[in-house]
Amino acid sequence: MKPKTIRELTIMRISIKTWLIGLMVILILPAAACGTDDVAAPATAAPTPITVTLPTTAPALTATSEAIPSIRVLDAWARPAGAGTSGMESMMSDHSMDDMGDATAMPGMDSMKSDDAMGGMADATAMPDMGSMKPEDSMDDMADAVTMPMDSIKPDDAMDDMADAVTMPMDPMKSDDAMGDMTDATAMTGMDTMMSDEAMGDMGSMAGMDGMGSTGAIYFRLVNDGDAADALVAVTDVYCKSTGEVVATSAEMHESSMDSEGLMSMKQVQNIPIPASGSVELEPGGLHVMLLDLQSDLIPGDIVLLTLDFEISSNQVIEAIVREP
Amino acid sequence: MTHKLLKELMTAGLTMAVMAAVACSSSPVQEDHEFSGAVTTPIREIADFVLTDQDGESYRLSEDPNQVDLIFFGYTLCPDVCPTTLAELVRVKRALGDRADDVNFIMVTVDPERDTPEVMKQRLSVFDESFVGLTGDDAELRAVWKSFGVVAKRESVGESAAGYLMAHTAYTYLVDQDMKLRVKYRFGFNPDEVAADVIQILENS
Instruction: State the pLDDT at residue B42.
Output: 80
Please list every residue in chain B whose beta carbon sits closer than 8 Å to the beta carbon of residue A266: 78, 80-81, 165, 167
Taking the CA of residue A211 and the nearest CA in chain B, the distance in Å comes to: 8
Q: Do A254 and B80 touch (CB under 8 A)?
A: yes
- Cβ–Cβ < 8 Å for A236, B144: no
Residues of chain B found within 8 Å of residue A267, distances taken between Cβ atoms: 157
Q: Are residues A52 and A100 in the same domain?
A: no
The minimal CB distance from A284 to the residues B77, B80, B125 is found for: B80
CB–CB contact B84 A210 (8 Å): no
Distance from the Cα of A214 to chain B's closest Cα (Å) equals 6
Local confidence band at B178 (pLDDT 50, 70, 90 cut-offs): very high
pLDDT, residue A45, reads: 40
Contact A266 B165 (CB under 8 A): yes
pLDDT score, position A26: 55
* A246 domain-assigned: yes
Q: What is the pLDDT of residue B65?
A: 85
Contact B155 A265 (CB under 8 A): yes
Among partner residues A81, A210, A267, which is closest to B126 by beta-carbon distance? Answer: A81
CB distance A80–B87 less than 8 Å?
Answer: yes
CA diameter of chain A: 89
Least-confidence region, from A19-23, B73-77, B101-105, B157-161: A19-23
Q: Cβ B165–A265 below 8 Å, yes or no?
A: yes
Q: What is the pLDDT of residues B98-120, one digit of tens each?
A: 999 999 999 999 999 999 999 99
* pLDDT on residue B20: 54
A225/A241 same-domain check: yes
Q: Are A149 and A132 in contact (CB under 8 A)?
A: no
The answer to whether position A201 is within a domain reads: no
d(CA B56, CA B51): 9
Q: Within this chain, do residues A49 and A110 fall inside the same structural domain, yes or no?
A: no
Is B155 a residue whose pLDDT tops 70?
Answer: yes
Show which of A143, A163, A194 is a domain's final residue: A194
**Quick check: B155 and A212 CB within 8 A?**
no
d(CA B69, CA A297): 28
Residue contacts between A and B (CB atoms, under 8 Å):
127
- Domain containing A175: what range? 92-194
CB contact under 8 A, A214 and B127: no
Where residue A145 falls (left for φ over 0; alpha for ψ -120 to 50; beta otherwise) is left
Residue B107's SS3 state is strand
The shortest C-alpha distance from A116 to chain B (Å) reads 35
The CATH number of domain B37-204, selected from 3.40.30.10, 3.50.50.60, 3.10.180.10, 2.60.120.260: 3.40.30.10
Predicted pLDDT at A295: 92
Average pLDDT, whole number, for chain B?
88
Note whether A297 and A253 are same-domain residues: yes
pLDDT greater at residue B4 or residue A4 = B4
Which of A88, A238, A256 to probe the B interface (max B CBs under 10 A)? A256
Contact A263 B167 (CB under 8 A): yes
Q: Which of A80, A264, A291 sits opposite B168 (nearest CB)?
A: A264
The distance of A285 to chain B (nearest Cα, Å) reads 5
Largest CA distance in chain B: 82
Residue A202 within a domain: no
Task: Give the closest-approach CA distance of A213 to chain B in angstroms.
Answer: 8
B194 near B70, Cβ under 8 Å? Answer: yes
Phi-psi region of A17 (alpha: psi -120 to 50; beta: other; left: phi over 0): alpha
pLDDT of residue A12: 56
Instruction: Judge whether B33 and B200 are in contact, CB under 8 Å.
Output: yes
Model ipTM value = 0.81
- The residue of chain B with its CA nearest to that of A85 is B122
Number of domains comprising chain A: 3
The pLDDT value recorded for residue A7 is: 61
We report the CATH number of the domain holding residue A291 as: 2.60.40.1890
pLDDT of residue A66: 80
Beta strands in chain B (DSSP E): 38-45, 50-52, 58-60, 68-74, 103-109, 132-134, 152-156, 164-169, 172-175, 180-185
pLDDT given at position B142 = 96
| Å between B29 CA and nearest CA of chain A | 28
* Cα–Cα distance measured from residue A269 to residue A290, given in angstroms and rounded to the nearest whole number: 11
> A88, A266, A287, A295: which to substitute to probe chain B, counting the most B Cβ within 10 Å?
A266
Domain extent listing, chain B: 37-204
| A221 and A82 belong to one structural domain | yes
Q: What is the pLDDT of residue A215?
A: 94
**Which residues of B make CB contacts under 8 Å with A?**
2, 76-81, 83-84, 86-87, 90-91, 114, 116, 118-119, 121-128, 151, 153, 155, 157-163, 165, 167-171, 186-188
Per-residue pLDDT of chain A (325 residues; tens, 9 = 90+): 444 555 665 555 656 566 655 555 555 544 444 333 433 334 444 444 443 344 444 444 444 568 999 999 999 999 999 886 443 333 333 333 333 333 333 333 333 333 343 333 333 333 333 333 334 433 433 333 333 333 333 344 444 433 333 333 333 333 444 343 333 333 333 333 333 333 333 333 333 344 457 899 999 999 999 999 999 999 999 999 999 999 999 999 999 999 988 899 999 999 999 999 999 999 999 999 999 999 988 999 999 999 999 999 999 999 999 998 8
Nearest CB partner across the interface for A210, out of B2, B119, B124: B119
Q: Is B120 helix (H, G, I), strand (E, B) or coil?
A: helix
Q: In B, which residues are within 8 Å of A254 by CB distance?
A: 79-80, 160
Does residue A104 lie in a domain region? yes
CB-CB under 8 Å, A12 with B187: no
pLDDT of residue A17: 61
Chain B CA closest to residue A297? B126
Min Cα–Cα distance to chain B from A12, Å: 11
Confidence bin at B37 (pLDDT 50/70/90): confident
Residues A82, A101 share a domain:
no
Is A316 within a domain?
A: yes
* Long-range pairs, A235-239, Cβ under 8 A, ≥24: A235/A289, A235/A306, A235/A307, A235/A308, A235/A309, A236/A306, A236/A307, A236/A309, A237/A190, A237/A305, A237/A306, A237/A307, A237/A317, A238/A291, A238/A304, A238/A305, A238/A306, A239/A188, A239/A190, A239/A304, A239/A305, A239/A306
What's the pLDDT score for residue A110? 36
Q: Residue B158: closest CA among chain A residues belongs to which residue?
A: A268
b/e per residue A117-155 (b: at least 16 CB within 10 A): beebbeebbbbeebeebebeebbebbbbbbbbbbeebee
Instruction: Say if CB B109 and CB B115 are below 8 A apart.
Output: yes
Confirm whether A203 is domain-assigned: no
Amino acid in the structure at residue A145: A
Task: Tell which of A161, A194, A227 closes a domain.
Answer: A194
**Which of the listed residues A172, A194, A216 is the one where a domain comes to its end?**
A194
| pLDDT beyond 70 at B204 | yes
Between chains, do A258 and B118 touch, taking CB under 8 Å as contact?
no
